[in-house]
């Protein structure tokens, strides 16, 4: 047997070690959205405040926007809310999906804490949220100028993770400028 | 405890068979046909709760699992097939919801990796065994060839005449001390 063949087990060991070592740093809770780079699912839902009917066509408006899933029953949403208000003041377009919530409670929430949303649709049955693959609130989607889903963020948006989202939004806005 | 558990199990089983009913996570789901109840039970066990790390729809109390069970129930009642429902779930929640991942380019390693490793291990084992056996055979053959030479003291080409003479004298000395064939 040639001498170098003696090193094969060692090489196999190193490769396996690298594989497992990488596995230690993967986040098993990170579930990529099944809707990435697909059109925002079709919906027809009334808005919270006026009851006016909105459809997915509203999102195909030539602007990059955030679609934020929220509910008054969701504690993390309360944590996230002030930051969304801040973003809205900076001019970020945010659309709300009020997920399985009581209308009265939701309206009171927006009155008390401020309303960062251009409008919120009332997804009382959770059908739109199911079509979006929402597993809980808050979740935020970045939807591009043509109404395509480009990114999904699970959990509250904070000043810590906002730069990451902002980069994606900026890139989408630039690609529109070039194209 | 064990007795009451088995009784419970018996009750569940008898309910399921008699009334086309699926009892999942403490809820009763009524079906007109047993085949539908069967699909429901199967999918509730096969589909993973998207928010949970390791619970299926039947097992989880998460809100999303509850919603998906209801959706599953509706779709099964409407007479949708297993595949159609699985596609519905995967289109929304991705492959994550499948406890039995689909066979595709992403999952070949997962599906065939262990079998491939077994085959590789078997091949390596066979090769090692064969080379070892060949070495043994060759060694045995050499022994057969060289042994009579040594015994007869026939000179090898590698030795010069003087060297051979010296070797012979050494061997003779040795033979006087003890029997080399015995050692």
**How many Cβ pairs closer than 8 A exist between chain A and B?**
37
* Same domain (yes/no): B15, B86: yes
Whole-number Cα distances in Å, A126 to A84, A132, A135, B51, B71 = 22, 10, 11, 16, 11
Q: Residue B162 has what pLDDT?
A: 86
Give A-chain residues touching B96 at CB under 8 angstroms. 31
Q: What is the interface pTM, i.e. ipTM, of the complex?
A: 0.83
Quote helix, strand, coil % in chain B, to nearest 5: 65, 5, 25
pLDDT band at B25 (very low <50, low <70, confident <90, very high): confident
Q: What average pLDDT does the structure give for chain B?
A: 82
For residues B43 and B85, the answer to whether their CB atoms sit within 8 Å is: yes
* Same domain (yes/no): B139, B168: no
Question: Using CB atoms and an 8 Å cut-off, which of residues 11-40 of chain A contact chain B?
Answer: 28-29, 31-35
Distance CA(A33)–CA(A20), nearest Å, equals: 25
Total domains in chain B come to: 3
Of B51, B53, B71, the CB nearest to A130: B71
Distance CA(B23)–CA(A176), nearest Å, equals: 52
Q: Which structural domain range is residue B139 located in?
A: 103-152
For residues B44 and B56, the answer to whether their CB atoms sit within 8 Å is: yes
- Domain of B61: which CATH number? 1.10.8.640
* Same domain (yes/no): B146, B81: no
Contact (CB<8Å) B67/A126: yes
* Same domain (yes/no): B21, B69: yes
Of B50, B90, B131, the CB nearest to A31: B50
* Phi, psi for residue A30 in degrees, rounded to 5: -80, 110
Q: For B148-169, what is the mean pLDDT?
A: 70
- Tens digit of pLDDT for each residue in A4-56? 888 988 999 999 999 999 989 988 877 778 899 999 999 999 999 999 999 99
Which of B48, B87, B93, B101 would best serve as a mutation to test chain A binding (most A beta carbons within 10 A)? B93
- Tens digit of pLDDT for each residue in B56-110? 999 898 889 999 999 999 999 999 999 999 999 999 999 889 998 888 888 899 8
Task: Work out the angle at residue A32's Cα, subtended by the Cα atoms of residues A29 and A37, and round it to the nearest 5 degrees.
Answer: 165
Q: For B123-152, what is the mean pLDDT?
A: 81
Which of B86, B89, B94 would best serve as a mutation to test chain A binding (most A beta carbons within 10 A)? B94
Token couple for B176: 């006087």
Residues written for chain B: 183
Give B-chain residues touching A32 at CB under 8 angstroms. 94
Full 3-state SS string of chain A: CCHHHHHHHHHHHHHHHHHHHHHHCCCCCCCCCCCCCCECCCCEEEECCCCCEEEHHHHCCCCCEEEEEECCCCHHHHHHHHHHHHHHHCCCCEEEEEECCCHHHHHHHHHHHCCCCCCEEEECCCHHHHHCCCCCCCEEEEECCCCEEEEEEECCCCCCCHHHHHHHHHHHHHHHHHC
Range from A59-63, A163-167, B21-25 that averages highest in pLDDT: A163-167
* Same domain (yes/no): B126, B162: no
pLDDT of residue B148 exceeding 80, the answer is: no
For residues B40 and B28, the answer to whether their CB atoms sit within 8 Å is: no
Closest CA of chain B from A117, distance in Å: 25
* Same domain (yes/no): B143, B164: no
* Phi, psi for residue A96 in degrees, rounded to 5: -100, 145
Whole-number Cα distances in Å, A95 to A56, A65, B80 = 12, 7, 34
* Same domain (yes/no): B63, B90: yes
* Range of weakest confidence among A51-60, A133-142, A155-164, B14-23: B14-23
* Same domain (yes/no): B7, B91: yes
Whole-number Cα distances in Å, B108 to B100, B115, B159 = 13, 11, 62
Q: For B19-31, what is the mean pLDDT?
A: 78
Contact (CB<8Å) A136/B63: yes
Give A-chain residues touching B136 at CB under 8 angstroms. none
pLDDT band at B157 (very low <50, low <70, confident <90, very high): low
B97, closest residue in chain A (CA to CA): A31
Q: Residue A97 has what pLDDT?
A: 96
Contact (CB<8Å) B96/A126: no
Site of tokens 């406890």 = B99
Closest CA of chain B from A178, distance in Å: 31
* Phi, psi for residue B156 in degrees, rounded to 5: -90, 160
Question: Which tops the pLDDT comparison, B21 or B124?
Answer: B124
* Same domain (yes/no): B111, B134: yes
* Same domain (yes/no): B48, B7: yes
Q: Residue B178 has what pLDDT?
A: 57
* Same domain (yes/no): B77, B146: no
Of B64, B95, B131, the CB nearest to A135: B64
What domains are defined for chain A?
Answer: 28-178 (3.40.30.10)
Q: Residue A73 has what pLDDT?
A: 93
Of A32, A33, A130, the CB nearest to B67: A130
pLDDT of residue B113 exceeding 70, the answer is: yes
Whole-number Cα distances in Å, B69 to A57, B50, B81, B120 = 30, 12, 15, 43
Question: Which tops the pLDDT comparison, B26 or B130?
Answer: B130
* Phi, psi for residue B31 in degrees, rounded to 5: -130, 150
A124 touches chain B (CB under 8 A): no
Boundary-marking domain end, from B53, B81, B97: B97
SS3 for B27?
strand
Q: Residue B17 has what pLDDT?
A: 52
Which of B49, B89, B96, B102 would best serve as a mutation to test chain A binding (most A beta carbons within 10 A)? B96
* Same domain (yes/no): B113, B125: yes
Q: Residue B183 has what pLDDT?
A: 45
Q: Residue B156 has what pLDDT?
A: 53
Token couple for B118: 């077994």
Contact (CB<8Å) A31/B94: yes
Own/partner contacts of A1-5, CB < 8 Å, gap of 24 or more, are A1/B131
Q: What is the dihedral of CA B37, B42, B43, B45, to 10 degrees?
A: 120
Give B-chain residues touching A34 at CB under 8 angstroms. 90-95
């Amino acid at each position: 047997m040639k001498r170098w063949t003696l090193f094969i087990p060692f090489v196999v060991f190193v490769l396996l070690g690298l594989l497992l070592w990488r596995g230690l740093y993967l986040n098993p809770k990170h579930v990529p959205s099944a809707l990435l780079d697909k059109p925002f699912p079709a919906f027809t839902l009334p808005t919270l405040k006026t009851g006016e009917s909105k459809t997915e066509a509203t999102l195909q408006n030539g602007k990059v926007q955030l679609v934020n899933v929220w509910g008054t029953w969701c504690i993390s949403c309360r944590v996230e809310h002030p930051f969304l208000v801040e973003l809205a003041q900076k001019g970020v377009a945010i659309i709300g999906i009020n997920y399985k919530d009581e209308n009265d409670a939701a309206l009171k929430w927006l009155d008390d804490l401020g309303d960062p949303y251009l409008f919120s649709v009332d997804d009382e049955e959770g059908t739109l949220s199911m079509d979006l693959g929402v597993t809980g609130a808050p979740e935020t989607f970045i939807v591009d100028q043509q109404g395509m889903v480009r990114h999904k963020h699970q959990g509250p948006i904070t000043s810590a993770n906002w730069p990451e989202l902002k980069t994606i939004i900026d890139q989408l806005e630039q690609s529109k400028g070039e194209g | 405890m064990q007795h009451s558990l088995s009784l419970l199990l018996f009750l569940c089983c008898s309910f399921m068979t008699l009334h086309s009913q699926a009892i999942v996570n403490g809820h009763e789901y009524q079906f007109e046909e047993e085949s539908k109840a069967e699909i429901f039970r199967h999918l509730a066990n096969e589909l993973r709760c998207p928010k949970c790390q390791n619970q299926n729809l039947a097992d989880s109390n998460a809100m999303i699992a509850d919603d998906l069970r209801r959706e599953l129930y509706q779709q099964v009642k409407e007479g949708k097939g297993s595949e159609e429902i699985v596609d519905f779930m995967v289109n929304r929640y991705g492959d994550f919801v499948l406890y039995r991942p689909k066979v595709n380019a992403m999952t070949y390693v997962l599906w065939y990796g262990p079998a491939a490793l077994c085959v590789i291990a078997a091949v390596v084992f066979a090769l090692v065994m064969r080379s070892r056996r060949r070495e043994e055979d060759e060694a045995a053959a050499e022994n057969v060839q060289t042994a009579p030479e040594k015994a007869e003291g026939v000179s090898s080409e590698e030795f010069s005449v003087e060297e051979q003479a010296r070797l012979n004298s050494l061997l003779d000395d040795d033979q006087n001390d003890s029997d080399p064939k015995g050692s």
